[in-house]
Structure 1
Amino acid sequence: MEKHSDKTPLNPAPLYYTPSPINDDDSMEPPINSQSVDVKDFYTFHFRGGRSYTIKSQKLNIILTVLTIISNLMMFVSLPLLNNTVNKYNDYYPVILYTSFWFQPFFFGLVFINKFLNPMAETKSSVSHKLMALLGLLNATNGILVVYAADPKRTSGSLQALLATSSIVFTVIFRYIILRKGVGRARLVCTGIVLIGLFISLEPEIFNVGGTPPPVPGAVTGVMKVVWPIIFLLGFLPLGILNVLIERELKKDQTESLVFLAWVQLYNAVCVALFFWTDFLPEFGAATGISEFGRNMLYALKCMYFADPACMTAAAAYFVFILAYCMANLMVFLIVKYAEGAIWLVLVQALVTPLGSLFFTLFSVEPPPGQEHGKFHWAPDFDLAVAFRFVGLLILVPTVIFYNYFGEMERKKAQQKIMTEEGT
């Protein structure tokens, strides 16, 4: 067992790890001011019974990146089906609220599993509850604003596709303002190319490539046609701040990631519950009174737990969505903790939109003729829009890989500079 100073808790990350740099000859030498560099060369995880497992940071980064893409794709795919079956009354608040309740058993369960695997693991967070409550509020605000504004009647799919890329811009800006951390020129260029690749892959939605879509029945008009896209855009502003604050805390070695995550999600659920009044706001929520609010909540609850034969398929979609949502949130914290940081997170998440769009060129969740609710069914639809998505992905994938490569080069250069300064 490695020695630690009195100021350093024994469990700074999930499953208790000890970060140290690896020299070119792969020998394990004591770190030289390793805390000044965000990403370590390897992580050692300690388990019950004195067992341990060491993994290089690059391999861990790849694993977390793949899991992030898979979990976000599962969310992307399952949410439309869930909305098609649950959203009879066009009320999105029940889905947000019931989803947030599942975070507590999932994440606090992980905390206690971690404690079982490693008895020395911390179960108390070193981060103040005021800050974790703020992060929960930012998370809840992002969910409320984006989900309400994402109704196609309020913000068209083309605008949503374009405005969602603002999460990258907000994260880069707030990372510089809050952390005073920029990115090297090469990675900044990569970030710009990612935005270009996203724009190309989203051109079918932005410019209606392949024909003008039919008008959405009941779509908003007048000033609200401008207000709702602005609300959708502003929903990504708290997400940008959230990503950066998470990076700031998780890059501190004393922060126990799972405990930190569990508390943030608890405060998120509390804030979502306290936002119930948003469902009563005219032109915003879907409930005009207490009875209607109760009816919507009860209907969604029955759909999610096989209690209403009219929407039996909702439970399966809800299970997949909850699992994917929990895993996606877990990956947010782990990829920020062990990888390059918040910008890498949003760039990886950017791959999900074109990949999800390609999925829906093969499958559909639209209700088949004569049926009220949608279900997944094979419905390949190859057109010019698919070509744009392929081209976008051909740009995005290698650019994200190069971003990670240039980040690794910057980190090694920083380490060499530190070692040179220490030597002098």
Structure 2
Amino acid sequence: MPAKSHGRIPALAVLFPVLLSLLPACGGPADAQGAPPPAMPVSVAPAVQRSVTDVETFSGRLEAAEFVELRPRVAGTIDKVHFTDGASVAAGALLFTIDPRPFEAEVARAESQLAAAKSRAELAQTEYARAQKLLDSRAVSRQEFDQLAAGARTSEADIKAAEAALRVARLNLAYTAVRAPIGGRLSRASATAGNLVNEQVVLTTIAATNRVYAYFDGSEQTFLRLRAAGNAKPVVRLGLANETGYPHQGTLDFVDNRLNPQTGAIRLRASFDNRDGRFVPGLAARLTMTTSAPYQATLVPERAIGTDQNRKTVVVVGADGQPQFRVVQLGALQDGMRVLLGDAVKPGEHVVVEGLQRIMPGVPVQPQVLKVDDKGMPLPPPTSAAPQQPGQ
């Protein structure tokens, strides 16, 4: 037994230094809990400054420059329809014929009344001339002479009334031929031969096709920019639903005289040439318009913009790696770059474009500066080549 106890002492002497060496390792995780978190990597890009113009986009609706609801100007029975539904017609083309016979009879009656009025006027004039000679010889009284003079004047007035009635009758007869007041494309005929129509019936509609209007609403800022730009008519570009971009060019030719107090918007109108008949009234349209003169502005990528309740912010990383939250006022969006109004961000300062969710106030970050293209948009970092397997 004594021999065995002497054998354990050298073994403990060997294990004791090993246990001492393990004590710092056991306390390592506890000490690491009090250390600051490591700097998180974020991607940043420099804010750029360049000359820009405000370009806004709108949604609008096309309308015909001229649109007519064709109604008859006299009541009667449709005698004939002279067009095909949907046809294009020139101004003055005959479209409908209303039965002219009642109006021809009215013209004949007015002509006879005019002839009778002229005969009465001739007799009254003859009697007036005779009475004037007799008045000189005192063979007729002054009262009789005045009555004959008044009768002659009344006869002249009757002639004018009969002439006016004849003109009205002839005008109504001419209205039995319903013609196109403007050139354009017709709708369908709502009344066919045999139908009785009056001035309240819409026979068809005509939409002018040589020009179209695009109506759209602009904001109060849009109106103020247009007013500051002066009297020059801005160029408006248009694209349809099946087109890419804005291939059609027109001009802004109308700005309403008041803003809508409920929406704060103002009605605008652009005019476009349509001689090729490409545009049809009622089509939806996408529009874009330059609303300001060129000016120098600071721009950042759109994805660098964050939202803090009702405020827009960007995060600027300084040379010390500390993130700085700055409230910004946004301008127009151009090619993925957002114009910043004011001087909250200076050109050349680095703004965070990726990794915003990793940022904590007061905790430094590790910025990785991305290369940008000629417009200031960040370029994706180059992908490293996959390592080759041994033996390849």
Q: Under a length normalisation based on structure 2, what TM-score does the superposition of the two structures give?
A: 0.16
Structure exhibiting the larger radius of gyration computed from Cα positions = 2
Structure in which a larger fraction of residues adopt strand:
2
Structure in which a larger fraction of residues adopt helix:
1
